Amino acid sequence: MSRRSILRGFAALASLLLVAVLPGAATAAPAVPPPLPFVSQLDLSCYRTEGYKPPPTAVTLSHLNPVLAGLPAETVKLGAREQFCVPVAKNGVIPPPGIVDFVRWVDLSCYRIEGGARNVPLTLSQLNPVVRKLGIQDAQVTLLSPEQLCVPVAKNGVLPPPEILSFVRHVDLECYALRVLGIPGRVFPLTLGHLNPVLADRPKTDVKVGNARQLCVPVAKRGDEIPREVLDTLQWLDLAKYDVATGPSVIGPVTLKLTHLNPVLAHLPGEEVTITEPVQLGLPVAKNGRIPPRD
């Protein structure tokens, strides 16, 4: 049995004892989700949002994923906001209980950044069960220069529960341009439905998924103290962003107010964003055959 499994067992036992001895503790807080169950269920629908530029802000980023951990830290400046990404379910398949509680609160605001070219060859493998059933082949790509930093936000002042907030506030993804080698992947259709409570009443959207454009990889911002149990899961969060096309729009725009959640960016002012139709879809992938641990 792994050290992580043992720690989870102690945490579960402690929660049960708490429920037994404290009359007010009717339910236990959800544990931090394991890497593969969480990562494989996180799909983000991304909307174009040009027009807003935050106050001058520089952050120093270091890589978390084991495959890229050897790359040097880099300081970047936040440019204009380019996208807003929200969690969705595909083809009506909802993540299982205990996982969806976390997935539905991952909302990311993505800002333009610039940095040095990496030129790292990678093999990307799909992790989400719905996409894997479609028989999507592994992709040979080269990681190029960083283009965006996607950071966690809340919508319309609706914050995650405290035990969820302590996890999702550390979700930072640095998105790199990709060079896809060989024949581009085939186009495939999906139906997307919103998971976050603020957008749960929005109609479902049919999309056709095209080529991969970016790979978003987990990073830490200097000054952000990530708890060990949170880091154990977030270091495996890699999302490939694919272009999507939608049919004629029957969904009107919706305007949202965004609040930064990550401690390093908590000083930034609130923002307003208007979204219509998605332009990209973030799908979870593994790099070079390194599958996230199941526990």
Instruction: Report yes or no: 277 and 251 within 8 Å, Cβ to Cβ.
Output: yes
- CA nearest to 74, candidates 61, 57, 58: 61
Residue type, 16: L
- CA nearest to 143, candidates 196, 249, 215: 215
Per-residue tokens: 47: 């909307």
What does the DSSP assignment read for 32-66? PPPHHHHHTT--EEEEE-TT--PSS-EEEEEE-ST
> Rg of the chain over CA atoms, in angstroms?
19
Per-residue tokens: 51: 């027009």
Half-sphere exposure of 39 (CA within 13 A, CB side): 32
| pLDDT reported for residue 251 | 66
- pTM as predicted: 0.88
Per-residue pLDDT of the chain (295 residues), as tens digits, is 444 544 444 444 333 333 333 333 334 556 899 999 999 999 999 999 987 999 999 999 999 999 998 899 999 999 999 999 999 999 999 999 999 999 999 999 999 999 989 999 999 999 999 999 998 889 999 999 999 999 999 999 999 999 999 999 999 999 999 998 866 667 899 999 999 999 988 889 999 999 999 999 999 999 999 999 999 999 999 999 999 998 765 567 899 999 999 999 999 999 999 998 899 999 999 999 999 999 8
- CA nearest to 68, candidates 231, 178, 217, 193: 217
Strands 278-287 and 120-126, bridge-based pairing: antiparallel
- Residue 97, number of CB atoms within 10 A of its CB: 8
Residue type, 200: A
Per-residue tokens: 11: 């945490």
